[in-house]
Amino acid sequence: EGKSTHSQTDVLIIGAGPSGLMAAYWMARCGVNARIIDNRDTKVFLGHADGLRARTLELFDSMGFQHRVLHEGSVSTEANIWVPGPQGKLVREAQFDIFRVDESPFHNTRLNQGRIERFILDSIREHSDLDAERGVIADSLEYDEESGNDPNSYPITVKVRVLGEDDLNRPREQEIDAESGAVGNEVNCSNLLPDDWADLAPRKKPQKTQVETIKAKYLIGCDGAHSWTRKQLNIPVEGSNTDHIWGVIDVIPISDFPDIRRVSVVNNAAGTILVIPRECGLVRFYVPVQTCEADTTDRFDRSKITLELILERVQAIFAPFTFDFKECSWWTVYQVGQRIATQSTKDNRIFLAGDAVHTHSPKMGLGMNMSMQDGFNVGWKIALAVAGTLKPEILDTYATERHPLAEMLLDFDRHWSPMFTDQKPGAADTKASNMALVAGKFEDFADGWKVFYPASSLVRKAEDNAEFAFARHMIPGERVRPVKLRNQADGGTRWTTRALESDGRFRILVLAGDIRNPMQKQRIETLSQGLAGQTGSEISPLGRYLEIPGRFKSPVDILTIHTSPWKEVEFFDFPEILRPFDPVNGWAYDKIWCDDTCMFDRYCDGTAYEKWGVDQVLGALVVVRPDQYIGWVGEIGDVEELTQYLDGILVKKSPTDEVDAVL
Ligand code: FAD
């Protein structure tokens, strides 16, 4: 045994898959002392998850790398259903759209998980020196419940092994992930992009395995379907395996099937396959290869299922169309498990995210999306709590916001899965209409547009969940519906998904209405005085809360969006607090935006206020959380209520300041 060391970190993340990396992003952005470990020697390169939902792309835009996905990925806009026709030949039975132009700037896109991990890793490196530590396996966990009450304590002790040349006990990855099929076989790495090459090189292992004891304030278990962290905490999972074994291949197909580059379900007597076109000329095929006893805990014998066998199955289902391939980049076999952990946190000190909480069929392309959104949700909260900016009790909202969604996810999966497995004669006739029905019911949820975050200190709902008359479609607990706006200073356009950057700050959206109207202009002046703390006190909601150390003096930022025609007002018509001055960087030209049309950009169509249900003249006030979800909605004059809302979340510099005394 090699040397043994002791260390301390504020946040330890176990697992550098999609959910762990999303959580790590926030640590990097907020300058938090954190570590992220993974037992695998390298990141994922090929295969695995590949479907990105629109909402995930919106988050990527707020993180600054969505353009990389668009550049490399393959977009799907419609789905097709093929069934046997009268003469036994396959015919296209139905075709339906799988995108909604108005809802989001982004569409369902396919790109392999390895590239997504690349982009998040690059973004993490851009903001900090945090990096995933590979070949490091968590071995034991102790949690001291008593000291857990003191926010400054380090109640978590994790022993990790830095795997060395001598490590013979190391579990093979195949064993860890066999059930979810998350490992698979990387067949051909020749297509890897140059920025992935460095990670492909084998990790330099120490001669002897080293043991490190890490003390942490918070632990996030992002360690996949067989979560080690979950097992250490004895958190049970509910659910079971389904009875279907699926094969998955990523190949460059050689086929005369007309929809080979379109999402399709092909359903005939020989079985059902799902066709998913993706980047680099690849197409993914999901193929049922075997049925075994449902609810069995026995693992099926993977070794019996070969690439050749999967190829034969695809050929049988596609017949009489032809199907073959020369290039296969990745393939795997998996059994679907529909399971949910009964809890996703222990005392708000240890959290589970991603597949550690929920597993289900991969065919609807939701697991990675949901997992990343889990990591995103828990990540900003822990980062700001560690920074001292956020009240630790807000961490309650991770479970109350995400756990019900995990339940919905399983419900969704239970509705969808049978559509890909039911092979009874005649079933095909109803398949198309069933699919359209289920798609309609779950669409908003699946794409991530509706998340149903409940009322809490973070989400101030109106009584009876009614809409706010002055901002009807700005619904607390939902995301800000993306719109494209025009910058008042330079006339350039930008989606709100990018303007609301995920940098750790809450944002007050001053929807200023039409400031050509003298009364409205006066209201904005008064609001600005309130925001600047000039109405009876020196303390403004901007200067009131503890900073994000090393990052931002205030955890609250302001963005103004007005409806006056772009050409009829000036940047300097807005009060200074809305466009602050910095002695080095000058005026903040990126703070004032206009909801107007733009000749050169048809997406910037002056409909933001209409989509948000906000009065064009009177405007509204909205607070957006760091993850772009709406937290609070009010009228332009409601600075006091706004400050009360933030007081419930953020730590004040001076704890005795009460809103009533201030404003
Ligand atoms: P993982 O990606 O499983 O990451 C967990 C990490 O933790 C691993 O790297 C593991 O090595 C590490 N780890 C585990 N234990 C330890 C330990 N003790 N110490 C250190 N490290 C540890 N989802 C979609 O959204 N869209 C899709 O199109 C899609 N397609 C899929 C296709 C297939 C074939 C499969 C198998 C899955 C698919 N999914 C898809 C699901 C998706 O892959 C998962 O939901 C997603 O990877 C979960 O991310 P995660 O970070 O929670 O877990």
pLDDT of residue 631 exceeding 50, the answer is yes
SS3 state at 382: helix
pLDDT score recorded for residue 435: 62
Q: What is the mean pLDDT of residues 17-33?
A: 98
Q: Which of 50, 355, 447, 595 is catalytic?
A: 50
Residue 46, Cβ neighbours under 10 Å: how many?
24
Atom number, ligand 1, closest to the C-alpha of residue 353 = 52
Q: Is 355 in the pocket of ligand 1 (CB under 6 A)?
A: yes
SS3 state at 600: coil
pLDDT score recorded for residue 429: 47
Q: Which of 25, 218, 286, 545 is catalytic?
A: 286
Q: What is the mean pLDDT of residues 436-463?
A: 80
Which of these, 523, 507, 460, 509, lies nearest to 612 by C-alpha position? 509
Q: Is 31 in the pocket of ligand 1 (CB under 6 A)?
A: no
pLDDT score recorded for residue 444: 75
Which range is most confident: 2-16, 150-164, 413-427, 564-578?
564-578
Q: How far is the CA of 56 from the centre of ligand 1 (A)?
A: 16
Q: Is 199 in the pocket of ligand 1 (CB under 6 A)?
A: no
Q: What is the mean pLDDT of residues 494-515?
A: 98
Share of the chain above pLDDT 70, in %: 87
Residue with tokens 């669409």: 443
Q: Is 180 in the pocket of ligand 1 (CB under 6 A)?
A: yes
Which of these, 355, 387, 359, lies nearest to 372 by C-alpha position? 355
**What is the biggest distance separating any 2 CA atoms in the chain, rounded to whole angstroms?**
83
Interatomic CA distance for residues 112 and 332, integer angstroms: 14
Strands 4-14 and 34-38: parallel
Residue with tokens 């503890």: 546
- 251, burial (CB in 10 Å: exposed 0-12, middle 13-18, buried 19+): buried
Q: Is 35 in the pocket of ligand 1 (CB under 6 A)?
A: no
| pLDDT per position as a tens digit, 146-195 | 987 888 899 999 999 988 877 755 544 443 343 444 456 766 666 677 78
Nearest protein CA to atom 40 of ligand 1, as residue: 49
Nearest protein CA to atom 49 of ligand 1, as residue: 18
pLDDT score recorded for residue 22: 98
pLDDT score recorded for residue 537: 56
Which range is most confident: 267-281, 324-338, 561-575?
561-575
Q: Is 530 in the pocket of ligand 1 (CB under 6 A)?
A: no
Q: Output the average pLDDT for the chain.
A: 88
pLDDT class of 628 with cuts at 50, 70, 90: very high
Which of these, 422, 425, 461, lies nearest to 633 by C-alpha position? 461
Q: Is 109 in the pocket of ligand 1 (CB under 6 A)?
A: no
Q: Is 278 a catalytic residue?
A: yes
Q: How far is the CA of 19 from the centre of ligand 1 (A)?
A: 8
Strands 592-594 and 556-562: parallel
Q: How far is the CA of 395 from the centre of ligand 1 (A)?
A: 24
pLDDT of residue 349 exceeding 60, the answer is yes
Strand locations in 76-153, DSSP E? 78-84, 90-97, 109-110, 132-134, 136-143
pLDDT score recorded for residue 188: 66
Interatomic CA distance for residues 3 and 5, integer angstroms: 7
pLDDT score recorded for residue 303: 72
Atom number, ligand 1, closest to the C-alpha of residue 137 = 19
Q: What is the mean pLDDT of residues 449-468?
A: 87
Q: Is 453 a catalytic residue?
A: no
Phi, then psi, of 440 in degrees rounded to 5: -60, -40
Q: Is 38 in the pocket of ligand 1 (CB under 6 A)?
A: yes
Q: Is 39 in the pocket of ligand 1 (CB under 6 A)?
A: yes
Atom number, ligand 1, closest to the C-alpha of residue 136 = 20
Q: Which of 105, 155, 362, 555 is catalytic?
A: 362
Testing ligand 1's pocket by substitution, the residue of 39, 76, 212 carrying the most ligand atoms inside 8 A of its CB is 39
Share of the chain above pLDDT 90, in %: 65
Residue 1, Cβ neighbours under 10 Å: how many?
10
pLDDT class of 604 with cuts at 50, 70, 90: very high
What are 276's two structure tokens? 């998913």
Interatomic CA distance for residues 632 and 651, integer angstroms: 18
Q: Which of 278, 349, 479, 486 is catalytic?
A: 278
Q: Is 286 a catalytic residue?
A: yes
pLDDT score recorded for residue 348: 96
Q: Is the peptide bond before 320 cis (omega within 30 degrees of 0)?
A: yes
pLDDT of residue 27 exceeding 80, the answer is yes
Interatomic CA distance for residues 509 and 559, integer angstroms: 5
Higher pLDDT, 96 or 376: 376
pLDDT score recorded for residue 179: 42
Task: Give the angle 627-631-632 at the CA atoms, nearest 5°.
Answer: 150
pLDDT score recorded for residue 659: 65
pLDDT score recorded for residue 148: 78
Interatomic CA distance for residues 395 and 261, integer angstroms: 44
SS3 state at 663: coil
Q: Is 531 in the pocket of ligand 1 (CB under 6 A)?
A: no
Higher pLDDT, 540 or 647: 647
pLDDT score recorded for residue 180: 44
Q: Is 50 a catalytic residue?
A: yes
Residue 437, Cβ neighbours under 10 Å: how many?
12
pLDDT score recorded for residue 426: 46
| pLDDT per position as a tens digit, 318-341 | 988 999 999 998 898 887 778 899
Testing ligand 1's pocket by substitution, the residue of 35, 44, 48, 363 carrying the most ligand atoms inside 8 A of its CB is 48
pTM of the predicted model as reported, rounded to 2 decimal places: 0.93
Higher pLDDT, 327 or 663: 327
Nearest protein CA to atom 52 of ligand 1, as residue: 354
In Å, what is the CA distance from 332 to each residue of 16, 51, 279, 590? 21, 16, 18, 47
Strand partners, 621: 510, 634
